[in-house]
Structure 1
Amino acid sequence: MSAAPDTHTAHTPIARIFAIAAGISVLVALIVMAFSWPAVTAEAKDIPVAVAGPEQAVTAIEEQFATGDSPFELTVVDDRDAAVTAIRTREAAGAIVLGDAPELLTASAAGTSAAVVKQLATPLQAALNAQAAAASAASGQQITAPTLVVTDVVPFAESDAAGLGMNAAFFPLLLGGMAGGIAIAFLVVGSLRRVLAVTVYAVFGGALLTGILQGWFGSIQGDYWANAAAFALSLAAIAAPIVGAVAVMGRAGIAVGPVVMMLFANPISGAALPSSYLPGAWGAVGHWFPPGASAVLVRNLSYFPDADSTFPWLVLAGWTGVGLLLALVGRFRTAGGSEPDAQAAHEDDPVAA
């Protein structure tokens, strides 16, 4: 008579349960801290504003902004045309044009900084009223203050007047790049095949995202193919480093996505808040990573074509190139995915007849 099988199942030790629960809690805390820290520590500062007009009026504005803790950095330009050029090239978030027809120039497509510049309308009009009152008292005649005109030089598209569609696309773009990189690393066998997969995924993904955001939602503007190239390179710059890291490190390379791209680079990318709002040099550091570079590039191509976009193009191309190079180097180091090392080392070899 055979003995009955032992159906007893070992339970997870209590100590391990506490360790797992504590580890997950710490992970959640790190995620909350990474995403909340920029918003909590953000402070409006170093917002570039151009000023044009008569020398005496410009000097008065400079003296007014020099007193107190002003978040603006004033730059004197020749005239209104120069101020508009400074805004379109993203050298200024707004401009103050003084003279007989005072005007406040803004660019809502620039994001949060432009909204802060727009708040200058009330104090500027109050200053004009005070000057008119002082002139009236001095001359004994009634002098009416000129009305400040607020002009949006670079508005969002009419189909997305608040810019919600474009701003909401940056985080899914990050998640899509991560998901594509992880999937390719483990579902595609062979280093050359992974490089091909990243390329095809980026090209198709870029074309599809541009078709949705520009052709359907109307959230972005500009040349379709330039925008598609920007989205494609953004996806590749996130996916390729993950594929490369998995190729040389094995499964531990997955951490490049959630740790480097999401927890570190995304909070300092400047996609949600202007880079100048972040403490120290973190805003500038964020532009060296794919989330920050893609946010700058997409916004420039869509609404600020006159701005210099060389740097974000180079950043995205650099991350893509390094990732693909690691994927090729990983062929001689480790399998990277689920295949054995010996199989991965010869997966791209020509098939013998």
Structure 2
Amino acid sequence: MTSPVSTPTPHTKWPVAVVIGVAASIALAIIVLAFLWPGKTAEARNLPVSISGDQAKVSALENATGTNETFDFIPAADRDEAIDQIESQETYGAIVLGSGTEVPEVLTAPAASAVSAQMLTGVATQLQAQVSQQVAQAGGDPTAVKVAVTPVVSYSEHDSNGSGLASASFPMAIGGMIGGVLISLLITGPVRRLAAVASFAVAAGVVVAFIMQTWFQYLQGDFWINALAMGLTMMATASFIVGCTSLVGRAGIGIGAVLTMFVGNPLSGATMPWQFLAAPWGVIGQYMVPGASGSLIRSLSYFPEASTAQQWWTLGAWALVGIVLTLIGHFRAKESMHVPESTLETPHAGKHAS
């Protein structure tokens, strides 16, 4: 008995192999740039900071710092109003100059941004040098005067430097992508896909909130509100990927992944104030899922007085876009499968005519 002869697999042509290798390197370069470019081009600028005190002192400080545009000073009537502005996330900190011979005080919000807190601590050092010089010139003891640095909103004792909260943004983006990809590949039918997205969002929100708040104790505030925020984050990403897949096929997975991981995540401002990113990318990042999610979760844990309407609406809008795209893709597929009756040939029509 003769064994069947196997047909050898044809080799890829040399030029094609070289072109594919070069294309892969270009793709890698784009990915690297997507993650590194925002940090490389970021500058310490336009940081909203409250300022209060005598007009003469305020004007002098504004003139001294007006050349580098590092700070965007927001007037505050007094120390209490400055604290209110910090707690509502209008500003990242405050410089309280006081009146007369009062010693200045610097208020920081490490939970808003460790980078901004370090910058304001540097301002306190500069103010300390000025005050010490003035006291020495007046014949006093400069060591007896201290410019206080007061943290207004600090991280929890279980996440003292905020690394846990900052690092959570990446796995949440990955988690939403994984859910969207699996649902797109394994489930058929628009309603079933959307039902799977909803159940995934609910379960993922509770699980992640349990890990981050109950287990690791990185988060504060109401557990179920935090779970809702994380679930809506997962739903926004997964829903968008499912919608893109329903509309354009498996290429939609790539579209959703690129927008989430290679655009939204680097522009989210998770490791620095979004104002430091080159315009208009910082603003754009806050209207994408990773940026809105990171700001929302930070506010719910540490800034309960801050308005979170923008973040909730942004995440909800992405989820809704995914739902709409899923339904559009479904009805387009049905229309393409429908064959008009006029194009159908009547069986045996030619036979009867003859």
Q: Do the aligned partners of 1:45 and 1:70 also contact (CA within 8 Å) in 2?
A: yes
Report the equivalent of 1:131. Answer: 134
- Amino acid corresponding to residue 52 of structure 1 in structure 2: S
Identity %: 42
Matched residues, number: 333
Please, which moves more after superposition, 3-12 or 125-134? Answer: 3-12
Superposition TM-score, scaled by structure 2 size: 0.89
- Note the C-alpha offset of 1:70: 4.4
Q: Specify whether residues 322 and 3 from structure 1 end up closer, same or farther in structure 2 by C-alpha distance, changes over 3 A only.
A: closer
- Note the C-alpha offset of 1:6: 4.0
How many angstroms apart in 2 are the aligned matches of 1:341 and 1:176?
34
Report the equivalent of 2:18. Answer: 18
- Note the C-alpha offset of 1:118: 2.1
Structure 1 runs not aligned, ≥5 long: 343-353
Give CA deviations for 1:223-273 in whole Å, capped at 9, x if unaligned.
111111110111111110110111111111112222211112221121222
- Amino acid corresponding to residue 311 of structure 1 in structure 2: Q
Superposition TM-score, scaled by structure 1 size: 0.89
Secondary structure of the 1:119 match is: helix
Report the equivalent of 2:280. Answer: 281
Q: Specify whether residues 142 and 206 from structure 1 end up closer, same or farther in structure 2 by C-alpha distance, changes over 3 A only.
A: closer
Structure 2 runs not aligned, ≥5 long: 339-354
- Note the C-alpha offset of 1:3: 7.3
Report the equivalent of 1:209. Answer: 208
Q: Specify whether residues 151 and 143 from structure 1 end up closer, same or farther in structure 2 by C-alpha distance, changes over 3 A only.
A: closer
Report the equivalent of 1:160. Answer: 159
Alignment of 1:175-324 (within 5 A): 175-324=174-323
Secondary structure of the 1:220 match is: coil
How many angstroms apart in 1 are the aligned matches of 2:50 and 2:154?
18
Secondary structure of the 2:72 match is: strand
Secondary structure of the 1:51 match is: strand
2:122 to 119, 124, 129: 119
Q: Specify whether residues 143 and 36 from structure 1 end up closer, same or farther in structure 2 by C-alpha distance, changes over 3 A only.
A: closer
How many angstroms apart in 2 are the aligned matches of 1:89 and 1:321?
28
- Amino acid corresponding to residue 122 of structure 2 in structure 1: Q
- Amino acid corresponding to residue 104 of structure 1 in structure 2: V
1:108 to 105, 110, 119: 110
Please, which moves more after superposition, 253-262 or 172-181? Answer: 253-262
Secondary structure of the 2:327 match is: helix
Q: Do the aligned partners of 1:275 and 1:283 also contact (CA within 8 Å) in 2?
A: yes
Q: Alignment RMSD, CA only? A: 1.9
Give CA deviations for 1:306-342 in whole Å, capped at 9, x if unaligned.
111100100100010110122122222238xxxx979
How many angstroms apart in 1 are the aligned matches of 2:232 and 2:58?
44
Secondary structure of the 1:96 match is: strand
How many angstroms apart in 1 are the aligned matches of 2:141 and 2:296?
51
How many angstroms apart in 1 are the aligned matches of 2:106 and 2:5?
84
Q: Do the aligned partners of 1:249 and 1:334 also contact (CA within 8 Å) in 2?
A: no
